[in-house]
Amino acid sequence: MIDFVPDPNSPYLIDECKIRGNAERVVIPDDESELSSVVKEANRTGTNITISGLRTGLCGGSVPLGGILVSMERFSSMIGIGKDGEGYFLRVQPCVTIDEIVRSVQLKRIEGFSDITPNACSEFRSDKRKFFYPVDPTEMRGSIGGNISANASGARTFKYGPTRNWVKSLRVMLADGNIIRIERGEHISNGRHFDVTIDDVHLEFDIPNYDFNRSVKNATGLYCHEDMDLIDLIIGSEGILGIIVEADLRLTEWHPLISNIIFMPDDQSAISLIDDLRHDTIVEPEFIEYFDKGSVDLIRRTCLTDPTILRPPGYECSAVFMDMSMDNDVESRFERLFELVRKNGGDPGRSWTGYDQNDRKRMFAFRHSVPKSIFDYVASLKDGIPAINKMGTDMSVPEEHNLEMMSFYDSILKEHGLEYVIFGHMGNCHPHVEIILKDMEDLTKAKEAYGILAQRAFEFGGSPSAEHGIGKLKRDYIRMVYGTEGISEIRNVKSAFDPNNILNRGNIVE
Amino acid sequence: MSGCNCSGSCSSGSCSSGSCSGGSCSSGSYDNTLPPGMLAAYNLDQETADGILVYIETDGKALHPAVKGILGKAKEISSGRVFGIMFAGVSGKMLYDEIFSYGVDTLYHMRNSAVKEFQPPTFADAMADVSHRIGPASILFAATPQGRELAPLVAARLGAGLTADCTELEAEGRKLIMRRPALGGNILATIECDTFPQMATVRPGTFPDPIPEIGRKGTSFSRPYKATMEKRIVSKDTVDDDDDIGNARILISLGNGIRNRSTVDLAHRIAKKLGASVSCTRALVDKGWMPYSAQVGQSGRTVSPDLYIAFGISGSVQHMAGLRAERIVSVNKDRNAPINAVADKVIVGDADSILRSMLESLEE
Amino acid sequence: MKIIVLVKQVPDPNLVTISENGHLQRENVPSMMDPFGMMALQHALTLKKNIGAHVTAITMGPPQAEDMMRRCLEYGVDEAVLLTDRAFAGADTLATARTLGCYIKSRKFDYVFCGMQATDGDTAQLPPELSAILGINIYSYVSKVRIDDPLVMTQIYDDNSLEIEACCPAVVSFLRPPEDPIVLPSMKDFMDARKKSVDTLNAWMVGVPPGSMGSKGSRTHVVRIDTVTKPKKDTEYIDGSDSKSAATILIGEVKG
């Protein structure tokens, strides 16, 4: 176990939201017993413990506010493979990265894995089919523990849902240092009341009275509804109920996909193509992403200095990025797709298509180049490295309000005199509006506009925080969505698990 | 090997009309090569083949540094004589003493005043001709761009087996045992040829320079050769030698972790102050931030500095293949970057800002 | 102008890894078109776009390489030819060059474009050997092609760059991609290519003499493969979040 007093500049005190916290100690336990002793001691003294994985979060969930920062970085083993009636599952420690999971499953690199069920490893290796873990949270270097705690989602959520859908069981260390295994389907609440005993640990509490908005992509607060599964309460709880020490993840059969980036004449035609595609039963898109004209222009600019990024065509365009299955029906899928593209004023010849792993990688790199392009753009305006460069929204709305929300983004941001581009998960009605911050004045204006936008998304029946979570940055939205009542109900759940309030203090609720 | 000297006369216009399309234009030369594997004219006598022939690359004034070690090795392992072949003008005579001092017994000084540049097929024809005359057991080249181009041309003419980029050579009598690293240096393949001559290119810097035996004598033949197939050179450009990363003792090397183009300029300024050179990974060449001549790796240059400071380099197999440094210091945000496993020191931090601070403290 | 492009299927080098006990792991590694061959293809396609060159892609490889040839068709090559036969297996570069040469001689062409080397072997021997077998000139390490009459190409020999008149016929090996390469095929290209097919030829159809192909035709043989075990280093890790002190450490490294 490593235990040290961190330097104020230590990387352990910051995550990708760039807010810097503070801690008296950083502890890096080697195993569960060391972790347990740290937790027990903190529980006795009432010291705040902040759990950190690989610190790729965007809302400060792993940024410590005093106390002890426990880095789970040594819980980084892939444990094994099992198989049950629903198929194969992978058992991992929380600090395994998504990239490691994807690779070992794709390449079947499972040397040293244990059999969770008899002969699962050899069966998996010799299985002719290919498998994959279908959640693609964009940031592949993040930890699976962090992904589960935030219920991460991504482009592929359009078809496969968020992380929640792929967690079969969890081992969770509670604030008293005891570990319980929560298996999906074994602990269901009676209405809104839980009364469960797991491994000699007894938990009895009421879940909040609100219904977690499941009609849109949502990562705002604790998940809850009547007759819910205990495991779903832990998933997305941002570490306030317990520490994930092990997870079993479902795998699903892989099938070949073909990716297409379609260049449409303008934003309007791209959005309306997406509307046509969303529920099309012939094309059956696996995800749909949108790039407005401004994002394509920014990428084109960046390509001048970085030719490794696919260069957008020379003509003015917006773009739609979608994946579909490359099976025997691929020709009829394309025929239908061509029809829809033409109907909306596009040209099937103005597109890119790829199915080979590397070509698709390049297409995804194109998608991910938007944030970097914004950075480059702001840097070029300032002739240096900007301290701030953008603020990205993370709001989803129900489909029927998508167009209204889109025009609301336009009118509010224009009203505030802000420059912005829009791209992202339009299939889920969850675009990322990237507000370009050229100076501090922009930041003030953007903060104000952001609040108005989040409020409207909520009024439309959407979520003000659709995938990044709440962490310490977005607690205001908990109040907006669930009110004071909701906050105290969440606190009650937390006290049932963590009576001394030591775990990840400050996440979701103060 | 004649009839293919198309220089000047073969316009692309006439090419498309078919007059120069493979089949017709070069049909004359096919007679020499068909059927494949039956280059009868050059088949060496398998019983008597002996000695080692080394291609002595020069720039007309001096030996290529990579040749010396190969000559030393050839002297050490040859069961017979060591032959050298050099293409040079009159000034090549100035090099005789040096060449003999490294162990060459017989030197073929190939001369044709009309040939000014490295002309691969012409040189290969001449070399195949000399090989036929002397019947060496082995032929060695330095794996420089020239050597890597010329060796296969000669090998195909002789129907000989050729192993690229060897890092170890051994001999058992006339038999040559060649070893070369593959897959980024993670495996070492031992390769043998089943006919004479046995051919290999040798990675530059593999063998130490031999101690010259001053005053050692050898035989030299000045031999004219025919220009058979030439390329017409429009212009020639030489990159400034100061920045030759191949000879640098200290390299500041930049990888994909460098986020800003301006950092590249910082690195050059730091290098100047520290007497270092700047190299990079393929990613930065692809981005157009650095020239190809600065690229370290499988498809770039092999470097062997005393100190290699890797900024934002993850250390792909391809990159590491070109790196044989005494000491490696890695600056990387990612503690688990593969390069860190072979580094002597790792600084976990942001490459861009650390370079900036370096320049600031150097300028203070 | 008729251009033949040689492409090759290789295991994705980024996914070939070394296990802790030093074994090479290439099982289940998806294959890809060798990046250098891809550069050659892009140069050929650029010439097709600009001056209407006719492009034929050729590979020698296992039957699965048909996927890659299909991709070439999607990129817009006019013909795709796959030479595949068990008898080709185990070929060294000379036997490969003879097999390809035997087929290429039956075709009309001005240039044979190929990558300078392939990432799975890095020998860089095939292009010169092929040129010798075809009895035509070779332009190696080409980084740039300028359209002129004839084409003007830039070769790079370490620190020297050489602009040459690239008279045909010739083998051209590429070191760099064109400046503005064809990015990806469009959906329409994909559908159009489904109407075309890959020509698949075996040894008999190519007419390669039995003694000059595969391992029989090879003059070199791998007699042993050793895994290189690199000693584990005692790496010193330093927290570099303070860039000032990190800079001091680094300058100290250089100045000794």
Q: Which residue of A has its CA nearest to C188?
A: A349
What does the alpha-carbon distance between residue A224 and residue B139 come to, in Å, rounded to a whole number?
77
Q: Which chains touch B (3 or more CB pairs under 8 A)?
A: A, C
Residue carrying structure tokens 């039963």: A281
What does the alpha-carbon distance between residue A298 and residue A308 come to, in Å, rounded to a whole number?
15
Instruction: Check CB contact under 8 Å for A308 and B286.
Output: yes
The class level of CATH for A257-392+395-459 reads: alpha beta
Question: Which of A25, A32, A33, A31 has its CA nearest to residue A7?
Answer: A25
By DSSP bridging, strand A419-425 and strand A318-325 are unpaired
- Encode pLDDT of A191-229 as tens digits: 999 999 998 899 999 999 999 999 999 999 999 999 999
Candidates A11, A258, A362; nearest CB to C241: A11
For residue A306, is pLDDT > 50?
yes
Band (C117; pLDDT cuts 50, 70, 90): confident
B159 to chain C: which residues are within 8 Å by CB? 94, 219
- Encode pLDDT of C73-89 as tens digits: 999 999 999 999 999 98
Give B215 to chain C, closest Cα distance, Å: 33
- The region that residue A483 occupies, defined by phi over 0 for left and psi between -120 and 50 for alpha, beta otherwise, is left
Whether the upstream peptide bond of residue C150 has omega within 30° of 0, thus cis, is yes
ipTM: 0.90
DSSP state, B364? Answer: -
- Encode pLDDT of A313-342 as tens digits: 989 999 999 999 999 899 999 999 999 999
Task: Give chain A's largest Cα–Cα span.
Answer: 67
Q: Which residues contact B184 (CB under 8 A, 6 or more apart)?
A: B298, B316, B317, B318, B320, B321, C13
What does the alpha-carbon distance between residue A506 and residue B7 come to, in Å, rounded to a whole number?
77
Question: Which of C78, C74, C16, C7 has its CA nearest to residue C36?
Answer: C7
- Encode pLDDT of A341-398 as tens digits: 999 999 999 999 999 888 898 899 898 888 878 877 887 777 666 667 788 899 999 9
Q: What percent of chain A lies above the pLDDT cut of 90?
A: 77
How is chain C split into domains, by residue range?
2-229
B352 to chain A: which residues are within 8 Å by CB? 385
Task: Let me know: does B231 contact C137? Beta carbons within 8 Å.
Answer: yes
Radius of gyration of chain B (CA): 23
- Encode pLDDT of A26-54 as tens digits: 999 999 999 999 999 999 999 999 999 98
- Encode pLDDT of C22-44 as tens digits: 555 667 778 889 989 999 999 99
Q: Which residues contact A334 (CB under 8 A, 6 or more apart)?
A: A348, C187, C190, C191
For residue C171, is pLDDT > 60?
yes
Domains and CATH numbers, chain B: 45-224 (3.40.50.620), 241-363 (3.40.50.1220)
Task: Let me know: does B4 contact B31? Beta carbons within 8 Å.
Answer: no
Instruction: Check CB contact under 8 Å for B260 and A385.
Output: yes
Band (B28; pLDDT cuts 50, 70, 90): very low
Q: Which one-letter amino acid corresponds to residue A215?
A: S
What are the structure tokens assigned to A386, written together? 């900007």
Task: Let me know: does A90 contact A252? Beta carbons within 8 Å.
Answer: no
Q: What average pLDDT does range A47-76 have in this prediction? A: 93
- Encode pLDDT of A395-422 as tens digits: 999 999 999 999 999 999 999 999 999 9
For residue B353, is pLDDT > 80?
yes
Exposure on the CB side of residue A327, measured as CA atoms within 13 A: 9
| Cross-strand pairs, C54 | C2
The class level of CATH for C2-229 reads: alpha beta
At residue A358, the pLDDT reads 84
Q: Which one-letter amino acid corresponds to residue C230?
A: K
For residue C132, is pLDDT > 50?
yes
What does the alpha-carbon distance between residue B7 and residue B28 come to, in Å, rounded to a whole number?
16
DSSP state, B361? Answer: H
For residue A508, is pLDDT > 70?
yes
Task: Let me know: does A238 contact A61? Beta carbons within 8 Å.
Answer: yes
Instruction: Check CB contact under 8 Å for A385 and B288.
Output: no
Q: Identify from C12, C16, C186 which residue to disrupt to test chain A contact, counting A C-beta atoms within 10 A and taking the largest count.
A: C186
Instruction: Check CB contact under 8 Å for C191 and A103.
Output: no
At residue A455, the pLDDT reads 94
Strands (E), A96-217: 114-115, 131-132, 167-173, 179-183, 193-198, 201-206
Q: What average pLDDT does range B8-28 have in this prediction? A: 34
Task: Let me know: does B197 contact B160? Beta carbons within 8 Å.
Answer: yes
Provide the mean pLDDT of chain A: 92
Q: What average pLDDT does range B194-221 have in this prediction? A: 91
CA trace torsion A137, A139, A141, A145 (10° rounding): -40
Say yes or no: C178 contacts chain B, CB-CB below 8 A: no
Band (C119; pLDDT cuts 50, 70, 90): confident
What does the alpha-carbon distance between residue A478 and residue A60 come to, in Å, rounded to a whole number?
15
Among the four given CATH numbers 3.10.129.10, 1.10.1270.20, 3.40.50.10320, 3.30.465.10, the one describing domain A78-253: 3.30.465.10
Instruction: Check CB contact under 8 Å for A9 and C32.
Output: no
Q: Specify the 3-state DSSP secondary structure of B282.
A: helix
For residue B5, is pLDDT > 70?
no
Question: Which of A331, A340, A256 has its CA nearest to residue C195?
Answer: A331
- Encode pLDDT of A431-478 as tens digits: 999 999 888 899 899 999 999 999 999 999 999 999 999 999 899 999
C107 to chain B: which residues are within 8 Å by CB? 22-23
DSSP state, B324? Answer: -
For residue C19, is pLDDT > 70?
no
Give B142 to chain C, closest Cα distance, Å: 13
Task: Let me know: does B166 contact C220? Beta carbons within 8 Å.
Answer: no
Task: Let me know: does B195 contact B174? Beta carbons within 8 Å.
Answer: no
How is chain A split into domains, by residue range?
2-71, 78-253, 257-392+395-459
B288 to chain A: which residues are within 8 Å by CB? 305-307
CB-based contacts of B260-263 (< 8 A; 24+ apart in sequence): B260/A379, B260/A385, B260/B352, B261/A305, B261/B289, B263/B351, B263/B352, B263/B355, B263/B356
Q: Which residues of A touch B (CB under 8 A)?
A: 11, 141, 305-308, 379, 385
Q: Which residues contact A72 (CB under 8 A, 6 or more apart)?
A: A29, A35, A51, A52, A53, A94, A95, A143, A145, A243
What does the alpha-carbon distance between residue B38 and residue C12 come to, in Å, rounded to a whole number?
36
- Encode pLDDT of C181-217 as tens digits: 888 999 999 999 999 999 999 999 998 888 888 888 8
Band (B22; pLDDT cuts 50, 70, 90): very low
What are the structure tokens assigned to A173, written together? 């260390």
Give B284 to chain A, closest Cα distance, Å: 9
CB atoms within 10 A of CB B171: 18
At residue A316, the pLDDT reads 93
Instruction: Check CB contact under 8 Å for C25 and A108.
Output: no
For residue C16, which phi and psi values (nearest 5 degrees)?
A: -80, 120
What does the alpha-carbon distance between residue A71 and residue A55 come to, in Å, rounded to a whole number?
9
Band (B98; pLDDT cuts 50, 70, 90): very high
| Least confident interval from A384-393, B54-63, C85-94 | A384-393
In CATH, the number for domain A2-71 is 3.30.43.10
- Encode pLDDT of B126-164 as tens digits: 999 999 999 999 999 999 899 999 999 999 999 999 999
| CA dist A100 → A88, A106, B90, B340, C15 (Å) | 17, 10, 62, 18, 12
What are the structure tokens assigned to A216, written together? 């849109």
Say how many Å lie between the first and final Cα of chain B, rounded: 65
Band (B35; pLDDT cuts 50, 70, 90): very low
What does the alpha-carbon distance between residue B25 and residue B3 come to, in Å, rounded to a whole number?
8
At residue A330, the pLDDT reads 94
Number of residues that this document lists for chain B = 364
Band (B43; pLDDT cuts 50, 70, 90): low
